[in-house]
């Protein structure tokens, strides 16, 4: 590459190809208008959504689909709030019927305050879902052995946390994520923990395929501006990864030549 | 009473006139069938079968849709 002919930098999961490397959640916004505006500003092409009971007393209430068009964005139904494999599988079967999508995000969580991935239950649910024809993007611990196992079972993307869900603590485990990226043969996304734009950039610089986040945008003072910041951060991090960072050195190295100094 | 069915819909007891299909239930509640999914006694009801699936007293229904989530 000479830098003058741009080559498309896309990524593919379960046969679907995306240009944006930012996946955003649709939760925690003030209203559906703000949700739609933030997603548009983020440039995301895939959005996570939750499955919940309809409100029987208000059946005509506006629905997410009216604001975030499933024909324009790839909906990735999640299993947020599920603490058992059974609940997660049941939820995604309903999601498949509601939307007709096989591509799903599996997450089976432990209790608060950490909501750490329950890997035993995650394995059980992944196994049942894959056998039932789902394409599973899986939220998981930053555990390279668990990640390898999920990949071998047939999960289409591995999505370890960078920090607890909704904590905004940033990527706490760059070394472990690097090792997991190194071994992954399917897309590896950092999911959870991003707090601000630099965190997303760090994830991409490490070599993640994409970044998934929600609270960092929805809970920013100005969510639409932060959505734009995240778009640029993910692009900057990706470019830096492709460019290859300079080696770290334990001392100074002047940028200006020493030759020709006046005497 | 043979002319009514008592269901549990999303955890709430509800009484409807019989006979009642899933399509009839959704219409009675006022929901757009294209935006929801229905589970009857923990089994998915395919959208194509809403019109022919008769509900009986004691059935447990879950009616869900997509909402914002992370």
Is B28 part of any domain? yes
Chain-chain contact of B42 with A90 (C-beta, under 8 angstroms)? yes
Question: Among B8, B7, B63, B10, which residue's Cα sits nearest to residue B37?
Answer: B63
CB of A164 less than 8 A from some CB of B: no
Render each residue's pLDDT in chain B as its tens digit; 70 residues: 468 999 999 999 999 998 999 999 999 999 888 889 999 999 999 999 999 999 999 999 999 999 998 8
CATH number of domain containing B18: 3.10.20.30
**Angstrom distance (rounded) from CA A230 to CA A43:** 9
ipTM confidence score = 0.91
Q: Report the number of distinct structural domains present in chain B.
A: 1
Partner residue facing A75 (CB), from B11, B12, B66: B66
Is B47 part of any domain? yes
- Angstroms from A170 CA to nearest CA on chain B: 16
For the stretch A88-123, pLDDT in tens is 999 999 999 998 789 999 999 999 999 999 999 999
**Angstrom distance (rounded) from CA A187 to CA A103:** 14
Q: Which of A28, A105, A148, A185 is catalytic?
A: A105
Query: Mind giving me the DSSP string for B12-35?
Result: EEEEEESS-BHHHHHHHHT--GGG
Q: Which B residues 2-21 touch A at CB under 8 Å? A: 9-12, 14
Q: Is A105 a catalytic residue?
A: yes
CB of B43 less than 8 A from some CB of A: no
pLDDT at residue A62, as a whole number: 87
Q: Which residues pair with B13 in a beta bridge?
A: B8
Q: Which A residues 42-71 touch B at CB under 8 Å? A: 48-54, 56, 59-60, 63-65
Is B9 part of any domain? yes
Is B70 part of any domain? no
Domain that holds residue B49: 4-65
Is B60 part of any domain? yes
């Amino acid at each position: 590459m000479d830098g003058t002919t741009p080559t498309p930098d896309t990524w593919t999961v379960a046969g679907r190809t995306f240009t944006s490397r930012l996946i955003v959640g649709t939760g925690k916004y003030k209203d559906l208008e703000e949700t739609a505006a933030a997603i548009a500003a983020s440039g995301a092409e895939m959005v996570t959504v939750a499955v919940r009971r309809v409100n029987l007393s208000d059946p005509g209430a506006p629905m997410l689909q009216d604001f975030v068009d499933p024909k324009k964005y790839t909906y990735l139904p999640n299993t947020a709030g599920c603490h058992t494999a059974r609940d997660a599988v049941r939820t995604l079967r309903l999601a498949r019927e509601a939307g007709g999508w096989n591509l799903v995000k599996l997450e089976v969580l432990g209790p608060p305050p950490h909501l750490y991935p329950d890997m035993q239950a995650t394995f059980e649910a992944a196994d049942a879902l894959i056998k039932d024809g789902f394409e599973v993007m899986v939220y998981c611990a930053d555990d390279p052995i668990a990640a390898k196992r999920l990949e071998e079972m047939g999960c289409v993307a591995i999505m370890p946390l960078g920090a607890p869900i909704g904590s905004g603590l940033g990527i706490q485990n760059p070394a472990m994520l690097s090792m997991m990226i190194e071994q992954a043969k399917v897309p590896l996304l950092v999911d959870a923990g991003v707090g601000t734009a630099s965190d997303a950039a760090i994830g991409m610089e490490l070599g993640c395929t994409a970044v998934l986040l929600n609270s960092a945008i929805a809970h920013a003072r100005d969510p639409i501006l932060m959505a734009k910041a995240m778009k640029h951060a993910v692009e900057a991090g990706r470019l830096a990864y492709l460019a290859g960072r300079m080696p770290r050195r334990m001392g100074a190295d002047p940028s200006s030549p020493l030759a020709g100094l006046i005497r | 009473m043979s002319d009514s069915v008592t269901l549990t819909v999303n955890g709430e007891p509800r009484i409807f006139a019989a006979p009642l299909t899933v399509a009839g239930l959704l219409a009675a509640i006022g929901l757009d069938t294209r935006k929801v999914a229905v589970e009857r006694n923990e089994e998915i009801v395919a959208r194509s079968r809403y019109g022919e699936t008769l509900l009986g007293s004691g059935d447990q229904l879950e009616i869900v849709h997509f909402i914002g989530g992370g």
